[in-house]
Amino acid sequence: MTPLLADLAAQAGDALWGAVAVFLRIGAAVALLPAFGEATVPMRVRLGLALGLTAILYPAVAGSLPPAMPADAVPWHLFATEPVAGLALGAVARLMLVVLAYAGTIAAQSTSLSQLFGGSAGEPMAAMGHVMVTAGLALACTAGLHVQVVAALIRSYEVLPAGTFPVAGDLTAWGVGRIGQALGIGLALAAPFVLASLVYNVALGVINRAMPQLMVAFVGAPAITLGGLVLLALTVPAALMAWRDWAEALLAQPFTLP
């Protein structure tokens, strides 16, 4: 009986350290993941999400974890390697919302709507950014964000093995490439507003040259505000569909260079 209990205790200890290693990666990722890591989500809820994801992922990735450690050794290195891997994945996934906030900021500055709802969130963001980020989060959650996140976390153990630090050069190239792609997508989503603002300002300049006595600012300000709202209603649904396709592709292959 005693040897059996000793074997059971050893196996339980190995499983416990494996679950801790998985939790370290998932906990770091949840802190940055869209929807899961929002500032409006209470800390206890985020902790519960991390524990629930650990229970789901551990059986799937148990074979990818380091071999059993000696009974008198503690794998302290996991406390350094796993959070780094989780933060890397969470940061790239966070670009999904950075794209929408960036596009909303450009659109708002182009149409003079940057402070319509300013200050309604934990961090300053343009009005159109609030609208696009909130709509994008709702769209992503209804499209199965949680399933895609679980799949991405499982695949992360193939690219970033447990217990090893990512190669700094590869991590840098990967991050810079993803950030550049995100900025390009954000600018593309805001392109209709930039073009409309260009046409508006050129037309306003022509009118001002033709009729210097007309106060074009008083005429143009309501026009650009109304035009921005109309353009927002017309273009954002299509922009969000394009963003969703890009976000799904990002989560499907988060560790490949764009």
What was the pLDDT predicted at 205? 78
Mean pLDDT of residues grouped by 10 in the chain (258 residues)?
Answer: 48 71 91 88 90 89 69 68 90 91 87 56 66 90 89 89 84 88 92 88 79 71 81 90 92 80
In a domain, 212, yes or no: yes
What was the pLDDT predicted at 115? 53
Output the pTM of the full model: 0.81
What was the pLDDT predicted at 70? 47
- What are the residue ranges of helices labelled H in 190-255? 191-210, 216-252
In a domain, 73, yes or no: yes
In a domain, 18, yes or no: yes
In a domain, 91, yes or no: yes
What was the pLDDT predicted at 10? 53
Q: For the residues of 145-163, what is the DSSP string, one character each? A: HHHHHHHHHHHHHHHS-TT
In a domain, 258, yes or no: no
In a domain, 257, yes or no: no
Closest CA to 215 of 241, 83, 223: 223
Give dist(CA 89, CA 160) in Å, integer: 10
Give dist(CA 254, CA 87) in Å, integer: 13
What was the pLDDT predicted at 9? 43
Our measurement of the distance from residue 66's CA atom to the centroid of its chain's CA atoms, rounded to an integer in Å, reads 29
In a domain, 164, yes or no: yes
What was the pLDDT predicted at 12? 56
In a domain, 219, yes or no: yes
Total structural domains within the chain? 1
What was the pLDDT predicted at 23? 92
Q: How far is CA 90 from CA 27, 49, 183, in A?
A: 10, 14, 17
Residue 145 in contact with residue 96, Cβ under 8 Å?
no
Domain limits for position 245: 2-252
